[in-house]
């Protein structure tokens, strides 16, 4: 491969943070970062670890697509543009240490905790908050805790909940249109500062890693529960989501993944 006429792709960038699924690098301009999507998968607070070949490529594409659509309905997001198969340019934010979970159907920890059968539709949407702390196992917290410990202000909390509901309404419709039930999902938000003022924007990613997506007719799981529950076919499920979203015209999907595995084999 030649880099003629191109900048060297990975020219000594400073790594800011390596998480479970992504790496953040310093961006080309102040206030920007590069978000690199890995194939690493973790579950149950990283007690279970694995790799899903090609997941990073798919999540990068899916998240780009969803964030672009959300920007189109007026949700402010950190997404600037996708740079390549695994990377996107984003605005650097000060992450609010709260995971906002929106639920439409009982599943996962809610089913377990309350002993309600998975798949039970909720009569109204539930918004939950989890304190982002791996050592504590991301405990469920209430708005009282969030305000008391200063993780977010009342106004920020209101903005996050409001955006979470708008995202849910939009994405529920988007997925329903392609035969997928949006069971639940997780969002992360961050602050951007403008002198002494800050505002909240949507950050991180929206992908099958952080959503429960069930096929509407078969009930098949098209998300990270395939990995959590050892169901197999993870990458095929993520690919199916991408395909239904219209992200792989003309069988481009296999081409993308082939190229990736080819690179891996060559150790690049």
Ligand X SMILES: Nc1ncnc2c1ncn2[C@@H]1O[C@H](COP(=O)(O)OP(=O)(O)O)[C@@H](O)[C@H]1O
Binding site for ligand X (CB under 6 A): 17, 19-22, 24, 33, 78, 90-93, 95, 188, 190, 203-204
Please count the residues of the chain.
Answer: 268
The DSSP code sequence of 129-178 is EEE--GGGT--EE-HHHHHHTTSS-HHHHHHHHHHHHHHHHHHHHHHHTT
Token pair for residue 215? 């096929």
3-state helix, strand, coil in the chain (%, to 5): 35, 30, 35
Residue 51's φ and ψ, nearest 5 degrees, are -125, 145
**Residue from 199, 201, 177, 181 nearest 189 by CA:** 201
CB of 17 to ligand X, least distance (A): 6
CB of 246 to ligand X, least distance (A): 25
CB of 212 to ligand X, least distance (A): 17
Q: Could you give the dihedral angle defined by the CA atoms of residues 261, 263, 267 and 268, in that order, rounded to the nearest 10 degrees?
A: -140
Q: Which CB, 188 or 225, lies closer to ligand X?
A: 188
**Residue from 62, 114, 113, 50 nearest 88 by CA:** 62
Q: Which CB, 94 or 155, lies closer to ligand X?
A: 94
Distances (CA, A) of 204 to 74, 239, 256: 17, 20, 23
Nearest residue relative to ligand X (C-beta)? 19
Q: Which CB, 188 or 253, lies closer to ligand X?
A: 188
Q: Which CB, 36 or 248, lies closer to ligand X?
A: 36
Q: Which CB, 60 or 172, lies closer to ligand X?
A: 60
CB of 108 to ligand X, least distance (A): 17
CB of 9 to ligand X, least distance (A): 20
Q: Which CB, 37 or 248, lies closer to ligand X?
A: 37
CB of 19 to ligand X, least distance (A): 2
CB of 45 to ligand X, least distance (A): 10
Q: Which residue carries 């098209």 as its tokens?
A: 222
Q: Which CB, 22 or 103, lies closer to ligand X?
A: 22
- Indicate the angle between helix axes 154-176 and 55-72, nearest 10 degrees: 110
């Amino acid at each position: 491969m030649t880099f003629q006429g191109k900048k060297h792709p990975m020219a000594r960038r400073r790594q800011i943070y390596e998480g479970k699924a992504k790496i953040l690098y310093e961006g080309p301009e102040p206030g920007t970062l590069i978000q690199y999507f890995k194939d690493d998968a973790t579950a149950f607070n990283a007690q279970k670890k694995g790799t899903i070949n090609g997941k990073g490529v798919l999540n990068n594409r899916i998240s780009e697509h969803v964030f672009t659509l959300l920007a189109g309905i007026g949700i402010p997001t950190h997404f600037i543009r996708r740079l390549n198969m695994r990377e996107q340019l984003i605005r650097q934010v000060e992450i609010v240490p709260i995971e906002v979970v929106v639920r439409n159907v009982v599943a996962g920890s809610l089913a377990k905790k309350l002993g309600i059968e998975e798949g039970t539709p909720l009569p109204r949407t539930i918004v939950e908050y989890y304190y982002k702390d791996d050592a504590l196992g991301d405990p469920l917290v209430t708005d009282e805790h969030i305000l008391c410990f200063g993780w977010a202000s009342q106004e920020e909390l209101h903005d996050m909940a409001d955006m979470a509901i708008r995202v849910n309404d939009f994405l529920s419709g988007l997925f329903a249109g392609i035969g997928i039930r949006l069971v639940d999902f997780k969002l992360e938000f961050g602050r951007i500062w403008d002198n002494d003022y800050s505002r909240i924007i949507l950050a991180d990613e929206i992908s099958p890693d952080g959503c429960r997506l069930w096929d509407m007719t078969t009930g098949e799981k098209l998300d990270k529960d395939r990995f959590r529950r050892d169901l197999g076919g993870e990458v095929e499920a993520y690919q199916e989501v991408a395909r239904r979203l219209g992200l792989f015209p003309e069988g481009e999907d296999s081409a993308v993944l082939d190229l990736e595995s080819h690179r891996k084999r060559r150790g690049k």
